Amino acid sequence: MLVFIYLSLTIFYLIMQALILAGGKGTRLRPLTVYTPKPIVPICNRPFLLYQIDTLRRAGIKDITLSLSYQPHKIEQQLGDGSDYGVHLKYTVETQPMGTAGAYKYAEDLIREPTVVFNGDILTDLDLKTVIREHTTRKATATIVLTPVENPTAYGLVETKVDGHVARFLEKPKPEEITCNTINAGTYILEPKVLDFIPAGENHSFEYGLFPNLLMRGEKFFAHISKRTYWIDIGTPTRYLQAHLDLLANRVGRIHIKERRGDFEAATIAEIDELSIVGDECTIKPGAQVINSVLGAGCYIEEKARIENSVIWAHTRVGAGAQVSSAIVGRGCHIGRSASVGAGAVLGDKTSLTDYSQTGGVSV
């Protein structure tokens, strides 16, 4: 019992900080990220970073620095000092992106303790406390979380040794270079001493720079392989939509949607299935169908429109008889009557489609 209390105290004494890398431009998520930076794109109508803040708070970490570069004011305006979410948020803003490790170095003045670093685009139900415990008991200089994926080419492949040490990094490997299925899951625990290995004032990367350097120096660098954990990088439209479908279907172990229905108006003969999320102040007219989808606040769905497996941001109007299927529609759009928005379509904010338009994977 005493040992347990000692260990818990040690863990929370040692690990009290987090840094979220949230400065990327979100290029692959365009046009959604033209007006909304990736860290706060809505996921089931909540700014994405709130899911990461929840994960940190569950592990007892409240001192969180957001490392920003692209559209920082929008993020600060949305999240403020964190008090609404039970944490203390601080911000660092790079005048130009410094790279992942460069961003961590740039925040050096705020870093005093071992720090949990998150890539700011990972949705996961990781048990962070266990990772922290492993890092502490192994007295590691760095710990990296790995996750298995079918195709590592879009990620950083990480080879490990049987004793859990990291053996090699290969960022964005070519198909013929793939040697294993474990990739960098974008979650690290770093001792402050690694700051000394990152050059100041220049662009530097964890993946190409610091991590291979730690291996070369023979530092204690361990991997935590989380096999049964939900993990997705929301940074492409396909994965952004997939994250929604997984949350709607309750496939994300520790993350449950609390409220699927806002305060909205729906005709009695409209169909809204149990899985769908409907935001506040939406209007759903007679004969409309909302199936396995998310509607942001203030959407207006006209008669006999059908929305299926899709995400629609706030204040969008879908005209009578229009069909939206497996698509993402930005904020303040207008989809004309009988228009068809098909699989894979991604419409930026304020898009206006004239009546009978056809877009996305429409079959003739």
Residues classed as catalytic:
172
Residue in 11, 22, 75, 318 binding ligand GDD, rule: CB under 6 A: 22
Give the nearest distance from C-beta 19 to ligand GDD in angstroms: 9
Q: Is the separation of the CB atoms in 278 and 296 below 8 Å?
A: no
Closer CB to ligand GDD, residue 247 or residue 312?
247
Residue 99: which of Mg ion, ligand GDD, none does it interact with, CB under 5 to 8 A by kind? ligand GDD
Residue in 48, 85, 91, 155 binding ligand GDD, rule: CB under 6 A: 155
* Residue type, position 145, single letter: V
Closer CB to ligand GDD, residue 202 or residue 355?
202
150 burial (CB, 10 Å; 0-12 / 13-18 / 19+) is exposed
Closer CB to ligand GDD, residue 10 or residue 30?
30
Residue in 44, 103, 247, 346 binding ligand GDD, rule: CB under 6 A: 103
Contacts with Mg ion by CB under 5 A: the residue count is 3
Contacts from 88-92 at CB under 8 Å and sequence distance 24+? 88/62, 88/63, 88/64, 89/64, 89/65, 90/63, 90/64, 90/65, 90/66, 91/65, 91/66, 92/65, 92/66, 92/67, 92/68
Chain residues 170-229 in contact with ligand GDD, contact rule CB under 6 A? 171, 183-184, 186, 207
Q: Is the separation of the CB atoms in 239 and 249 below 8 Å?
A: no
121 binds Mg ion (CB under 5 A): yes
Q: What character string, x for contact with Mg ion (CB under 5 A) and - otherwise, covers 197-236?
A: ------------------------------------x-x-
Phi-psi region of 99 (alpha: psi -120 to 50; beta: other; left: phi over 0): left
Give the nearest distance from C-beta 39 to ligand GDD in angstroms: 7
| Residue showing tokens 């003045």 | 109
Residue 183: which of Mg ion, ligand GDD, none does it interact with, CB under 5 to 8 A by kind? ligand GDD
Q: Which of 114, 205, 226 is nearest to 160 (CA)?
A: 226
321 binds Mg ion (CB under 5 A): no
Give the nearest distance from C-beta 32 to ligand GDD in angstroms: 14
Closer CB to Mg ion, residue 121 or residue 125?
121
Residue in 36, 71, 119, 359 binding ligand GDD, rule: CB under 6 A: 119
Residue 332: which of Mg ion, ligand GDD, none does it interact with, CB under 5 to 8 A by kind? none
Stretch that binds ligand GDD, among 83-91, 114-122, 303-311, 332-340 (CB under 6 A): 114-122
Angle at 214 between CA 162 and CA 183, to 5 degrees: 55
* Residue type, position 345, single letter: A
33 binds ligand GDD (CB under 6 A): no
Closer CB to Mg ion, residue 88 or residue 172?
172
Q: Is the separation of the CB atoms in 89 and 75 below 8 Å?
A: no
Q: Which residues bind ligand GDD (CB under 6 A)?
A: 21-24, 67, 69, 94, 97-100, 103, 119-122, 155-156, 171, 183-184, 186, 207, 233, 235
Q: Which residues bind Mg ion (CB under 5 A)?
A: 121, 233, 235
